[in-house]
Amino acid sequence: MDLTTGETRRDRQRAATVAEIKAAARKLLVEGGVSAVGLRAVARELGLSAPALYRYFGSHEDLISTLVADLYDELTDFLIALRDGDPAAELGDKLFLVAGGLRDWALGHPAEFGLLFGAPVPNPDADDHDLTPGHQAAMRFGAVFKDLVAEVYRQRPFPHPSDEQLGPELIAQLCQKSDFFDGMPPGAVYLSLTYWTRLYGLICMEVFGQLHWALTDAGAYFQAQLFEIGEALGLDCPLPGQ
Give the pLDDT confidence of 152-170 residue by residue, as tens digits: 999 999 999 999 999 999 9
pLDDT at residue 178, as a whole number: 86
Task: Give the single-character DSSP code of 237.
Answer: -
CB 46 within 8 A of CB 21: yes
Reported as a single tens digit per residue, the pLDDT across 175-205 is: 998 888 999 999 999 999 999 999 999 999 9
Over the chain, what is the mean pLDDT? 89
| pLDDT higher than threshold 60 for residue 147 | yes
What percent of the chain stands above pLDDT 90? 61
Closest CA to 208 of 119, 82, 67, 110: 110
CB 76 within 8 A of CB 144: yes
Closest CA to 29 of 53, 76, 63: 63
Confidence of residue 6 (pLDDT cuts 50, 70, 90): low
| pLDDT higher than threshold 90 for residue 5 | no
Confidence of residue 91 (pLDDT cuts 50, 70, 90): confident
What type of residue sits at position 234?
Answer: G
Residue range 37-48: average pLDDT? 91
Confidence of residue 129 (pLDDT cuts 50, 70, 90): confident
Confidence of residue 122 (pLDDT cuts 50, 70, 90): low
Phi, psi of 204 (to 5 degrees): -60, -45
Q: How far apart are CA 235 and CA 129, in angstroms?
A: 36
Domains of the chain by range and CATH? 1-58 (1.10.10), 60-232 (1.10.357.10)
| pLDDT higher than threshold 60 for residue 61 | yes
pTM of the shown model: 0.88
CB 91 within 8 A of CB 152: yes
pLDDT at residue 125, as a whole number: 67
Q: How far apart are CA 188 and CA 156, in angstroms?
A: 12
| pLDDT higher than threshold 90 for residue 237 | no
Confidence of residue 214 (pLDDT cuts 50, 70, 90): very high
